[in-house]
Chain A
Amino acid sequence: MGILQVNHLKKVYTTRLGGNQVEALKNVTFSVEEGEYVAIMGESGSGKTTLLNILATLDKPTNGEVLLNGRNTVSLKEREVSAFRRDNLGFVFQDFNLLDTFTLRDNIFLPLVLSGKEYREMNQKLMPLAKKLAIGEFLDKYPYEVSGGQKQRAAVARALITKPQIVLADEPTGALDSKSSSQLLRLFGEINQEGQTILMVTHSTRAAATAGRVLFIKDGEVFHQLYRGALTEEEMFGQINRTLTVLTSGGVKNEH
């Protein structure tokens, strides 16, 4: 049993007008082991975002369950959800989602302040993180004063500072230039090496190739998965590309 267990997830949206039903997720089942680094790939409209929103407890599935450390997050009450999200999940988003009313330091502190931690304790937690992420000198700057890469590293610090069970990343390299992208991906690799479980949703083959395992989603189902195993990043890159070609040319479902 993994740290995250997703069972038969189904999500049906009813359009506001006319009552048409759209099936975003049909039947998604997978699990993530502790310390794993998993990438989820799929085209636009494949249901990636819906899946991530459900994992993030921002949305509820029509059917199925999500177990984090054996606890069903789907049945969490509205009141518990925020605290649960704060304590167990870390988020990294494509557009950073930093509040421009806060300095980077305060943005990173935000989840801790919400949980009522003391300033000294927060500061102690921040120092090693800031060093690792090389953002020490920008801490007192505001989001609009720093580059995209620096913003994203601050967002990573915010995700990690609560020591979450799992980090959920949504297209984390989507708004970054190639240099910042590879820097961030290297960082993800290192964090994962230290034992942090990461689940990343991405379009980018380059990003997915750094993961330990890649899940492919198509039309609301897990279509295929690739383990990196002993492959180098370059070999993994090739494998993913081949799979994507099969995926887009309308191949049939198969499992390794």
Chain B
Amino acid sequence: MNIKLYAKLAANNLKKNHRTYVPYLLTCIGTVAMFYMMGAIALNDGLSEIRGGDVLRPILNFGIVIIGIFSAIFLFYTNSFLMKRRKKEIGLYNILGMEKRHIAKMLFFEVIYTAIIGLCGGLFLGILASKLMFWLLLKLLAFSVPLAFSVSGISLLITIFVFSGIFFLSLLADFGKITLANPIELLQGGKVGEKEPKTKWLLTLLGFVTLGTGYYIAITTESPLDAVALFFIAVLLVIIGTYCLFTAGSIAILKLLRKQKKFYYRTKHFISVSGMLYRMKQNAVGLANICILSTMVLVMLSSTVSLYIGQEDVLRSRYRKECMLRITAQKEGEEDEVEDLIDRVLDEYELRAVEKEKYHYLSVTLWKGQDGVFSKKGLPTEKMCYLTVIPLKDYNNLYQKEFVLTDKEAILIASYNNTLDTITIGEKTWNFVEKEQHEEFIDKYMAVDAIIFAVNDPYDIKEAFEQLEGDMGWISEQLKYSYGFELDGEKERIIPFETDLKREISSFCEENDINWTIDFREVNREEFFSLYGGLFFLGIFLGSLFLMATVLIIYYKQISEGFDDKERFDIMQKVGMSKIEIKKSIQSQIRMVFFLPLLVAIVHIMFAFPVITKLLYVMNLNNVPLFFVCTVGTILIFAIIYIAVFFITAKEYYRIVK
């Protein structure tokens, strides 16, 4: 036999198995294209020239790694599924006189064809679509400067290298499988091992415990900072729980149902319980995969969409004034000098400062114990708390009030995560005689407990602070001055103004040895857009990759179910079930099997909702209704796609069964 023959045999095999190979090839093309595109964008030189490119690049690099790992696992998994289905065919070749090394040569050509089609098709598609992706990314980031579009040589090389590796590994796995098997085993192929699944109580229990714990963490975590740490633990627990419950839990429940003789021996339950038992054994892992992937798609899209839509909100809560200057003046009159400086630059650009907000403050970090007693000892039971102390005079100015306080009284201006009536530092205690909640004073992104209050003289606090024992805690040396304002005037002048102002303030403060910080909303906007736009882009990208995987798994499940059901369909008819009854029963089972992952994914999302809102909080998004709408919207769209895919692939199923 010569090489040509193997090449021809391999080509024929692919053609003959087109029903399963075409979707596999499409997946290869799809993953290759996505990998190339992500590479082409992330490795583009133009990226470092745009504002916020530095923020964007790590996000995109992360995308490359994720897509690479995911493609490898997924293509490998699909290939082994295809080989399993073809066992009989390969056994036949073996019996007809092909030696294993001949079969290996044939398989080699098959993989070569797959690799060529996948890489050529994928790269071609990738090059075409990367232009579209560039456009989409720039649109999302609201960049005015377009990135230059070109074919990325580096990305081409990396893609070819990575995917050749993946194909080579799957070829090795195929070789391993055929050398280990004997022809009789291969011939019987799918027929072996329809053993009754065992009830694994331990795994079931583990599943309930892990899932329950994961859900519990997700619901009960209050503090956003804890949420960051615990989220991944919760995710891990839920993933473990999902796998355990799909594989062991489903079988345990079905077997319990089967033991209820009165329930089990009813026409409807009889067929479906035993059918489901069999199906769950075959499909549990695949279904758990679908479920996890679906959950990931939903979480990723809903959160990145909310961040993207909500970025204006985020920007406003992060920078509550267009310009926010903070200085620690060393000499009397320096504060006025800085204000004059700002006015001068404003005039230069024909802009006006409005909604001015000026006050002094002292910032203190202490550990909060019970009943509002603060200490410098960071004991485990005590929580870190930021205190911001404002002189009463400034408070009265800010809100046009005329409060008068004694030295033991204070006014609560705002608090985060606190319900205190008094503040005790050392031997001194202040009573809140007035409680207000001015949300704008809380830096939510800090996500640390905070109290903002006014007293007659903030230096009283400093005095008390210094008498405390312990070496933790922190206080600013002297009162700082905060000056914030919005801008009114032509929009185009804002960024040049801000750049210029920063330079002026900088040189003035350096000269006078003044501590200073200044933040501008407009200047930071582009960085924010890069971050959230980049995340959104990645969300869409990975979301569609996972969706593709989900679709493919559903399709293969339908096909393998179809082949298995064909036989049973015939038998049941002979024993006296009508075609309609059989069709109904099978339909309901198939629906149950395929919609179970979607339902579980939605339940996961519902439980994850509270903890994700906390995570978004850390990312400055505090708009729960927006996130809710985005989540519901994503679920709806995803469910529609899922159902559509189901019905399209169900047609294939019915074609096999009939």
Contact = CB atoms under 8 A, between A and B. Distances in A.
A136 to B, nearest CB: 18
B196 A142 contact: yes
Interface residues of A, number: 31
Given A101-B568, A144-B195, A114 B577 contact: yes
A91 B574 CA distance: 8
A99 B577 contact: no
A97 B265 CA distance: 20
A98 B265 CA distance: 17
Interface string A79-94: 1011101100001010
B578 A142 contact: no
Contact of B575 (A91, A100, A117): A91
A51 to B, nearest CB: 16
Nearest to A78: B578
Interface in B267-323: 267, 270, 274-275, 277-278
Interface string A106-135: 100111011011110010000000000000
A144 B196 CA distance: 10
Residue from A81, A101, A114, A119 whose CB has the most chain B CB atoms within 10 Å: A101
B573 interface: yes
Looking at chain B, what size class is its interface with the partner chain?
20 to 34
A122 B579 CA distance: 24
A23 B278 CA distance: 41
B657 to A, nearest CB: 15
Contacts of A82: 576-578, 581
A142 B196 CA distance: 8
Contact of B574 (A58, A113, A118, A142): A58
A121 to B, nearest CB: 10
A86 B573 CA distance: 10
A91 B572 CA distance: 12
B577 A101 contact: no
A97 to B, nearest CB: 5
Given A100-B194, A113-B270, A114-B267, A119 B578 contact: no
A196 to B, nearest CB: 18
Contacts of B16: none
A114 B262 CA distance: 14
A113 B585 CA distance: 14
B265 A114 contact: no
B574 A93 contact: yes
A85 B576 contact: yes
Contacts of B577: 82, 114
A48 interface: no
Interface in A40-98: 56, 58, 78-79, 81-83, 85-86, 91, 93, 97-98
Interface string B358-385: 0000000000000000000000000000
A158 interface: yes
Nearest to B571: A97
A101 B568 CA distance: 9
Nearest to B264: A119
B261 interface: yes
Nearest to A83: B576
Nearest to A97: B571
B86 to A, nearest CB: 22
B266 interface: yes
Given A114-B267, A142-B195, A99 B568 contact: yes
Given A114-B267, A119-B261, A144-B195, A101 B578 contact: no
A102 interface: yes
Nearest to A144: B194
Contacts of B581: 82
Contacts of A97: 570-571, 574-575
Interface of B: 194-196, 261-262, 265-267, 270, 274-275, 277-278, 568, 570-579, 581
Interface of A: 56, 58, 78-79, 81-83, 85-86, 91, 93, 97-102, 106, 109-111, 113-114, 116-119, 122, 142, 144, 158
